[in-house]
Amino acid sequence: MKHYLILVTACIAALFFTRCGQKSSNVENTPEPPGATEKAVSDEITLTDAEMERASGIYFNTCAGCHGTTRKGATGPSLLPDARTKLLTTAGLKAFMMNGTPGGMPDWGKQGILNDEEMDLLARFLQVPPPPIPEYTLDNMKASWKVLVPVEDRPTKPEHDRNWQNFFGVILRDAGQVAIIDGDTKEMISIAETGFAVHILRSSASGRYFYSIGRDGKVTLIDNWMAKPSVVAECKGSFDARSVDVSKYKGPKGDFIDKYVIMGGYTPSHFVIMDALTLEPLTVVSTSGEACDNGEYLEEARVAAIVASHKDPLWVVNVKETGMVWLVDYTNVANPEITKIKTARYLHDGGWDNTGQYFLVAANASNKMVVVDVTNKKLETIIETGIKPHPGRGANVNNKEHGNLYVTGHLGENKITFIATAKGDNQWNIVKNLELPGAGGGNLFVKTHPKSNHLWADRALNNEVSLQRSIFVVDNQTLETIKTIEVPQKYQGRAVHLEYNKAGDEVWVSVWGKMDKPAENAILVYDDKTMELKNEITGDWVITPTGKFNVFNTMHDIY
């Protein structure tokens, strides 16, 4: 049984906040589960059409992010019947769902998020062959495309006198919404209806727009200049997705600023280039292809993190299952030039170093960080780190002794890793592995700011409740933990995702509680210097807050 405890880390949900068994109130945004009407039989395990449809929906909206739509595994292990799940049996699978694992799988049953009947259904579903992945074509995308406010009808200057570059876009995950909050006044300005379980927001190069990407593959465009920031366009690019970014290269004449946007599909595996101001889908490119190590052809080759270069007309596109980093030149969107770089599997999240030349991304199934020299379009190096590195965008620390450092945390063990990035003999060496207070991993995000002396870290996926609810402050010079902060007891959710304000003197933290209990949820604002709680943003509208994205920091890739 110990062998499977290590291997089965089910249902983290794309490493960004899986909530098994919860449904979005925005029902129309929930994707149709692939192959949901098929009847499946495997030995003694039989699912009716209705059970298959329901189980497919639960799996698709929760577990597929880590284990793949075809259940062949990625960050989490394979969940195919012949590979593992028949051996575990229904009882064994339910035990993992109930209790979680030290390697990062939450205890969904103990938390009451997945009930016994749902665990039983999902356990039986995992013991039958997975449904096939359907097609989703450019014609499907164009049929979903809506321009709600034409470009010519949008304001030519802000319709308010707010400091819009200090706006925060806050994901209300299970409500299928994004709240726009004034970072100066802490006032909620508007709530935009977006895709199901939004994964991230990205600011346009100008900062005027937010682009959101939902778990249902829907991209929404939010205009921050409107008196009440609202969705002005939307387009569904896939059944399932995690990544979006805009063109940020200015070029000789500023030709590419906010001209194109790219979204990366999980299901099907492709990326889509759209018009940045209208979201009209222009080009679709499949990412299916050969793996970096053994040349195996993989149809399910999902697009993980995407980042935009500020120095060249390039997007960095990370193809998870193949371990290939694609540099996509958008000079000619009808036929984009692509440089493919072999790295390691399976690629997930990452961000820029402080120079913007190097991109660092977690190959978390290999326990490695990959460094790509984007300027010279080549693999720079691969660094062995801890178990399942998960940097989010990561953090860039300026340390007096070691120079510039890139920071990643880990899901699978208690380790915050500081990697030297400054050119010289020490470049790409690990200068410190810091253990945070308490046992086990579960870190999802680290964050700092050029004007701060601190690095903040969460432990949202740790199995210990007190650690789930704590945030940890590290001194950027000593690289030691200086304070552990547990969120107020009146909020019963997990402390997750950290974001600074524009000035770099506040840190915003989400308390992610249950969807049907808004009082358990909050957005907490801490003074970065004193580390004291200074504001609590609450209300019936604060439903499962997760990621928070400051306009200025996001448009300039400050983290």
List active site positions: 63, 66-67, 105, 348, 390
Question: Contact at 8 Å (CB) between 268 and 334?
Answer: no
Q: In what order do the strands lie in the sheet with 209-213?
A: 146-147, 230-236, 218-223, 209-213, 200-203
User: Nearest Cα to 360, choosing from 411, 312, 295, 430?
Assistant: 430
CA distance 50 to 37: 7
Structure tokens at 552: 């200025």
The angle at the Cα of 216, spanning 212 to 220, to the nearest 5 degrees, equals 25
What span, in angstroms and rounded, lies between the C-alpha atoms of 59 and 129? 13
Q: Looking at beta carbons, which pairs linking 333-337 to residues 24 or more positions away fall under 8 Å?
A: 333/260, 333/273, 333/282, 333/283, 334/282, 334/283, 336/273, 336/283, 336/285
Distance CA(111)–CA(216), nearest Å, equals 25
The DSSP code sequence of 249-265 is: ---TTSTTTTTEEEEEE
d(CA 269, CA 285): 9
Q: What is the CA radius of gyration of the chain?
A: 22
Query: Are the C-beta atoms of residues 240 and 202 closer than 8 Å to each other?
Result: no
Q: Please give the distance of CA 238 from its chain centroid, rounded to a whole number.
A: 16
Q: Is 432 exposed, middle or buried (0-12, 13-18, 19+ CB in 10 A)?
A: middle
Directed axis angle between helix 86-99 and helix 116-125, to 10°? Answer: 150
Instruction: For residue 207, report the phi and psi dihedrals to the nearest 5 degrees.
Output: 85, -10
Q: Are strands 281-286 and 270-275 parallel, antiparallel or unpaired?
A: antiparallel
